[in-house]
Amino acid sequence: MKSRLRRFRPLWATLLLIVLLVAVSGDSLIAKKVIAHLLMPAGFLWLILFVALTWPGVAKSTRIFTLLFFAAYSLAGSPYLGVWLLRILEKPFFALEQPAEKLDALVVLGGGTAMSPEGRPALGNHGDRITRPAVLFSEGLVGTLITTGRSITEGKADRLLSRETSLLWQAMGIPAERIIEFPEPRNTSEELAAVAKLATQHPEWKRIGLGTSASHLPRALEEAKVQGLEMIPVPSDFRSGPMIFSPMYLIPQGRGFRDVQSAVWEFLGRAF
């Protein structure tokens, strides 16, 4: 009898975990979301790891390794950890969303666009990088908009992110003659090197802004200084807003993996 109970211990432990997560949900809607997240690939794999962790008869060294892997996986997919890491990068720019004075030029680094199935430019996951500069232009806070970059990670010809951004801005009513495109640069370093050369041709530009995702701004501003540029940060695409406590955020999920990876990417970029 005792051996039979031991055999089913992982099942009972897993059911208890699920019941606890549902019990602290507070209402039926959150409870449904908890169940849904547990059925998603990231959540389901998390449950499998929990089963492996509670499996009877496993060697101590194996159980310790499983525990460490379970903890690492939980953290890597944690929305709470992702938001906390992003906030470290974004917090210095919370009060800088709106420029205090008009910018002679605003450089918007490539990103924030996507392509529709028919090949039309569209706003991507970080579309605020595109719309925020357009809003500032409409408010009379930007003289010239500069868009840069291309994507070299597609399966076919390079996507000209600068062109996509320019077309979207023009569709929003911004005159083409107020937009400068730099399609050649492939990364932040090349983008700002091109801007540095352009700035020498426009000595009348006294206030030049740098627009990109708030989490990317620390690294971008450092690179601007390497190129001899003193630029005014214009943040957008903030992703570290306050989060309520919810059991569904204790379950590893896509949002957590995305935010943790984005933050770690920026930290590594600044380190190397």
Write down the H helix ranges in the chain.
2-7, 9-23, 28-39, 41-53, 60-76, 79-90, 128-138, 161-171, 188-200, 217-226, 254-271
Query: What domains are defined for the chain?
Result: 2-88+242-271 (no CATH), 98-236 (3.40.50.620)
Pairing verdict, β 103-108 and 208-213: parallel
The reported pLDDT for the residue numbered 228 is 93
What digits encode the pLDDT tens for the residues 236-251? Answer: 999 999 999 999 999 9
Phi-psi region of 253 (alpha: psi -120 to 50; beta: other; left: phi over 0): beta
The low-confidence residues of the chain, meaning pLDDT below 50, are: none
Global confidence as pTM:
0.89
CA–CA gap between residue 154 and residue 164 (Å, rounded): 15
Q: What b/e readout covers 169-192, taking b as 16+ CB neighbours within 10 angstroms?
A: beeeebeeeebbbbbebbebebbb
Cα angle: 237, vertex 115, 111; to 5 degrees: 30
Rounded to 10 degrees, the C-alpha dihedral 260/255/186/136 comes to -110
What digits encode the pLDDT tens for the residues 115-143? Answer: 888 889 999 889 999 999 999 999 999 99
